[in-house]
Amino acid sequence: MAAPVGGQPPRRSPVPPGRPGPPRPGPPPRSGPPPANAQPPRRRPEPRPPRRAAPEPPPPPEKPSRMRAVSGRVGPRAALRHTGAIARRNLLQVVHDRGAILDATLMPMIFTLIFVYVFGGAIADDQGDYKQYLLPGIMVQTVSFASRLTGVTLNVDASRGVMDRLRALPIARSAVLSARISADMCRMLLGQLVMFGFALIIGFRVQTDVLSALAAIGVLLAYGFALCWISAFIGLALKSPETVQSVGFIWTIPLQFGSSMFVPLDTMPGWLRAFAQVNPTTLVTDTCRNLFLGGPVAPSALGAFLWIGGILLVFAPLSVWKYRRYT
């Protein structure tokens, strides 16, 4: 572009609106010392190093637990301790459940009074002799009544969720079943003592010695122990407590009335006599009757203990297996 005439400065072209103009020159930097009232520039505070956290105190040493892990194996002593704890809980339930106590004590007394004073005259000529014959059988019936409650209580615990809580605890798998049966054996022993005392009151007399009478009660408890395992399997196999109670009543009826519990075997027809002779209830009843009144014990006792051992070998493993698979 040509310079303007007359030495005038060149005109600047107007800046279009919306466009910034050229930067204006600022004041020249001052030279020389700073003024007296000038403040020194502020320095940024240096970052402080992070504080170190105080060391945490070491955790207290764990107390040795009486329970073992669920996946670990439980020793015999721990299994016995677990069984005792659950059995105590079951016994407290029995104490507060009057129906369970009446079932083990009152029902056999009612059956005794009915058979002695209602049917006794028609069955036997002498009521006193029939008392001696009947009461050992009624004591066998007492353990049959008491064993039915094992399956019912197991089924009730399962339906209320108690079984699931016990399965979640780090306890022995066998503790639940063994504790249930241990509590029922205590209830069964109470029923036997009450029934034996009632028998003495109404005229029953032991014609042997004390050791034979104690042996008879031992045979009764052993038979009741075996029946409890059958009842436990039924209680775990069925879903409803009412069904368990009905089935438990049904399977004990043939064992009781198809035996020598109430009448001699000679009065039965041939086909029923053949069943009654091998019936475990007949063998247990004859063993107890001979121990109380005198007579050969060995033949019936051998058959009775063979039946008791066979029932335990079959139904105890089945009950444990059913308990482990129970849902």
Average of pLDDT values for 17-31?
58
Under 8 Å CB-to-CB from 50, ≥6 apart: which residues?
A: none
pLDDT in tens, 133-147: 999 999 998 898 888
Supply the range of the domain harboring residue 298. 76-324
pLDDT over 70, % of the chain: 77
158 located within any domain: yes
Confidence label for 149 from pLDDT (cuts 50, 70 and 90) = confident
In this structure, what is the dihedral angle of CA atoms 104, 108, 110, 114, given to the nearest 10 degrees?
160
Count Cβ atoms below 10 Å from residue 133 Cβ, excluding itself.
21
Give the pLDDT score at 83: 83
Quote the pTM value.
0.73
Q: Return the percentage of the chain with pLDDT > 90, whole number.
A: 25
Q: Would you state the pLDDT for residue 18?
A: 54
108-117, 282-291, 292-301 — which one is most confidently predicted on average?
Answer: 282-291
Backbone angles phi, psi at 297, to 5 degrees: -100, -35
Residue 280 lies in a domain: yes
- Does 34 map to a domain? no
pLDDT confidence of 69, banded at 50, 70, 90? Answer: very low
For residue 292, what are its two tokens?
């109380």
In this predicted structure, what is the pLDDT of residue 30?
58
Give a yes or no: residue 186 inside a domain. Answer: yes
Q: In the predicted model, what is the mean pLDDT of residues 109-118?
A: 86
Q: How high is the pLDDT of residue 292?
A: 93
Q: How many domains does the chain have?
A: 1
Is residue 52 in some structural domain?
Answer: no
pLDDT-wise least confident of 39-43, 125-129, 141-145: 39-43
